[in-house]
Structure 1
């Protein structure tokens, strides 16, 4: 039983390591692929209009997951789904890496939560 567990653990580690390796995006390439994003999210990823999320400073893995979910329909937003449909996996990684490297203007949730 221990030997079987060890093989599973090694396999899981290798799969995780491979996923992280392939998930690495290039922020410089990402900057060249954000023309559509800036209309809502801003050139630096800090949207001014509160209806659009601020992308700057978010984890690249989170941004990539969200884009994949728009692309495959797990998240439902017609605008984002249409945009994400045009992106390759590498584009998603690059755009996510770009916004992750941008300085965020996010603050705490003061005055954004009902009841304060």
Structure 2
């Protein structure tokens, strides 16, 4: 019985941690994310290491970051310029979109670096 409860708990936690539970309209977020793609990549996996990879990030982390750029709590003039144009709904949608994308695995990064 303990084994059943433990497996049920693990399954529930894993399911809740997946991007599928992200709030927001993923398609609307994709449409609004076009300016983001110049630096962060079309798939959210920036090729240039100076830009963060957004794909697969937690939606709540992305939402918080965008809100902080918008209010000036985070300092980056480029991101502030983009974030100030986003409504609260846009922030939720863009965050849901990037959270829904598959992130780059460390092994993929290793292979990419080795190939250079």
Q: Please report the TM-score for the alignment, with normalisation by the length of structure 2.
A: 0.72
Q: Please report the TM-score for the alignment, with normalisation by the length of structure 1.
A: 0.72
| Per-residue deviation, residues 68-107 of structure 1 (Å, max 9, x unmatched) | 0000010000000000000000000000000000000042
- Dislocated runs of 4+, deviation >2 Å: none
User: Where in structure 1 are there 5+ consecutive unaligned residues?
Assistant: 1-22, 111-116
Q: Which has the larger radius of gyration?
A: 1
| 1:97 corresponds to | 96
| 1:14 corresponds to | none
| Per-residue deviation, residues 22-46 of structure 1 (Å, max 9, x unmatched) | x821111101101110000011100
What RMSD in Å do the two structures reach over aligned CA positions?
Answer: 1.8
User: Where in structure 2 are there 5+ consecutive unaligned residues?
Assistant: 1-21, 111-116
Give 1 or 2: higher helix fraction: 2
